[in-house]
Amino acid sequence: MKITLAVVGKISGGYLKQGIDDYTNRLSHYLPFNIQYIADAKCTKNLSEAQQKKAEGKNILAAIDKSDYVVLLDEHGKEYTSMDFAKYIDRKMATVPRRLVFVVGGPYGFDSDVYDRANEKISLSKMTFSHEMIRLIFTEQLYRAMTIINGEPYHHE
């Protein structure tokens, strides 16, 4: 199984990129992992929030393959502890045939078409993080999950 983190918006830059790159490299020791950048809506000044979500939703759906198992990172999603997230990833490795895709939406969340396509929603926190920060937090949690699955000394309970 491959894992992709699909993110709407600009390619990461600056200090957060260093952290995202660090965990992405560490993850490559465990499984194929990549970050897929999805174009955000253009000329957003002329768009309502709903129009922006709709435009981004089209781009998200275009980036997803029929065989992908799609999980939205969404504030209304299920919250996991790091231990339970590791168990979740471990189960997915046994059941998802090709690609497990986690999707981070744009600033206003997901369009209904994206919710309809998604297989699941999970939430990293009740709090709202910046989109760059979510990328860092997610890659760190996925790395933590892989160390837990492999019984390696990174995570303390």
Binding footprint of its own copies on the chain (CB under 8 A)? 14-16, 18-19, 22, 75, 79-82, 85, 107-108, 124-130, 133, 136-137, 140-141, 144, 155-156
Q: Which is nearer to its own copies, 45 or 126 (CB)?
A: 126
Instruction: Please report how close the Cβ of residue 140 comes to its own copies at its closest, in angstroms.
Output: 6
Residues 62, 80: Cα–Cα separation, whole Å: 29
Nearer to its own copies, 77 or 99 (CB): 77
Least gap, CB of 20 to its own copies (angstroms): 9
* Shortest reach from residue 87's CB to its own copies, in Å: 13
Closest CB to its own copies among residues 68, 131:
131
For residue 110, the minimal CB distance to its own copies (Å) is 13
Please state, as a whole number, how many other Cβ atoms lie within 10 Å of the Cβ of residue 51: 13
Q: Which is nearer to its own copies, 117 or 144 (CB)?
A: 144
- Cβ-in-10-Å burial (0-12, 13-18, 19+) of 81 comes to exposed
